[in-house]
Amino acid sequence: MTLELKGVSKVVEGQVHIHPTDLRLEKGTMNVLLGPTLSGKTSLMRLMAGLDRPAQGRVIWQGQDVTGMRVQDRQVAMVYQQFVNYPAMTVYENIASPLRLMGVSRPEIDRRVREAAELMRLTPMLTRKPLELSGGQQQRCALARALVKNAGLVLLDEPLANLDYKLREELRVEIPRIFEASGAIFVYATTEPEEALLLGGNTATLWEGRVTQFGPTPQVYRQPVDATTARVFSDPPMNFLPVRLAQGRLSYGDSHAAAGALAGLPDGAYLAGFRPNHLHLHQPSADAIRFDTRLVVTELTGSETFIHLDHHGARWVGLIHGVHDLALDAALPVWLEPRHIYVFAEDGRLVTPAPYALAA
């Protein structure tokens, strides 16, 4: 069972929403669409589902071209951010509703509803109405209604975005378990890199209607092919610094001997990238590079501190362990180890991966 997008694009009133895209999703895989709002995640899902017809390209399902096939005739289930349940029906009736529309026999409906309810841990709530459930239980009911169809393709469009933190964490743990039990192709859209890492599987990063990279989630995170992918797959976003190499020296306003991923590269202009958690307030090693910055804002999260920095007009973010009482608008030196630096060409392509990236 596979879903293939071959050169699929979407154009609305002359505006390109999805640039020509090739993707191949295999049976029994979790596939995350990761990107900011308006990057094209929902548009791409609608093309997969058959809710929209591509401007060009083909959608292949199990070897069959289904580009012009109605969504009702496909093995597709979709759950949206604004989950919908029928308030006048019980949980049982909500889950059973698509099967009744499909003309499934009563004994088969009962079997499949109870199987889906058990999978979603809803068995004790089958006689309740949706408004008698918690937000997480209501979302599980919507998920059960999607899964009960035995769809080969399950599309989840930011399904946890409207839930509180505790419920999101609960369902983030449960969704991979549900996915493994169903054997379907799951496609899960999110704006949160942390959620993609928790879900695992494969990740496609999206930016302005383009899939910038697709592959196993840890690989895409650790080895982004370009600066755009690195920016998308980092929260807070990756910090960048234009640098120039000449005769083994690194110039970025100051000067430092080239080391780490920068050592041995040809002379020229590059873009150095580094994640917020790799900045330090104290020198961590002898080869660490010092940057003189100005502290703009601090955000305390309890066990960690986000520091917003100004480095010669460029805004950086650092993620520092612990709670720190720092003077705002004051000079603040920070350190970065060369082994944590990603090096990109001026056009954004990855030149060489950071050596530390494989284990980060």
Among 48-57, 98-107, 132-141, 187-196, whose mean pLDDT is lowest?
Answer: 132-141
Any residues with CB less than 8 A from the CB of 300 and at least 6 apart, and which? 323
Q: Using one digit for the tens of pLDDT, what is the confidence trace for 273-286?
A: 999 999 999 999 99
Instruction: Give the pLDDT band of residue 301 (cuts 50, 70, 90).
Output: confident
Q: What is the largest CA-CA distance in the chain?
A: 78
Average pLDDT over residues 85-91: 92
Lookup: tokens for 345: 């060409």
CA distances to 181, 196, 217, 221, 236 from 226, in Å? 35, 18, 15, 11, 17
Name the DSSP class of 184.
P
Fold agreement between 2-230 and 236-358:
no
Rg (CA), the chain: 24
H or E element that contains 109: helix 106-119
H or E element that contains 101: helix 91-101
* Whole-structure pTM value: 0.87
Is pLDDT at 270 greater than 60 in this prediction? yes
Lookup: tokens for 126: 């089958």
Question: What fold does the segment set 236-358 form as a domain?
Answer: OB fold (Dihydrolipoamide Acetyltransferase, E2P) (2.40.50)
CATH architecture for segment(s) 2-230:
3-Layer(aba) Sandwich (3.40)
Q: Which residue has the higher pLDDT, 167 or 111?
A: 111
Q: 8 with 58: CB under 8 angstroms?
A: yes
Phi–psi pair at 66, nearest 5 degrees: -115, 20
Q: 345 with 351: CB under 8 angstroms?
A: yes
Any residues with CB less than 8 A from the CB of 72 and at least 6 apart, and which? none
Question: How many whole angstroms separate alpha carbon 304 and alpha carbon 31?
Answer: 30
What amino acid occupies position 187?
V
Lookup: tokens for 81: 């951010």
Other beta carbons less than 10 A from residue 190's beta carbon: 23
Distance, CA of 213 to chain centre: 12
Work out the angle at residue 183's Cα, subtended by the Cα atoms of residues 180 and 187, and round it to the nearest 5 degrees: 85
Torsion (CA) 266, 271, 274, 279 in degrees, nearest 10: 90
pLDDT value at position 354?
55
> Tokens 């895989």 map to which residue?
29
Is pLDDT at 171 greater than 90 in this prediction? no
Domain range summary for the chain, segments of one domain joined by +: 2-230, 236-358
Task: Return the bridge partners of 25, or none.
Answer: 3
Q: 184 with 164: CB under 8 angstroms?
A: no
Question: How many whole angstroms separate alpha carbon 337 and alpha carbon 274?
Answer: 10
| Torsion over CA: 13, 19, 24, 25 (sign) | negative
Question: How many whole angstroms separate alpha carbon 253 and alpha carbon 312?
Answer: 8
CA distances to 78, 117, 246, 358 from 49, in Å? 8, 24, 52, 35
pLDDT value at position 283?
95
Mean pLDDT for all residues in the chain: 89
Q: Using one digit for the tens of pLDDT, what is the confidence trace for 50-83?
A: 999 999 999 999 999 999 898 878 888 888 876 7
Question: How many whole angstroms separate alpha carbon 224 and alpha carbon 212?
Answer: 9
Q: Using one digit for the tens of pLDDT, what is the confidence trace for 319-360?
A: 999 888 899 999 999 999 988 999 999 899 999 765 444 333
> Tokens 């505790």 map to which residue?
166
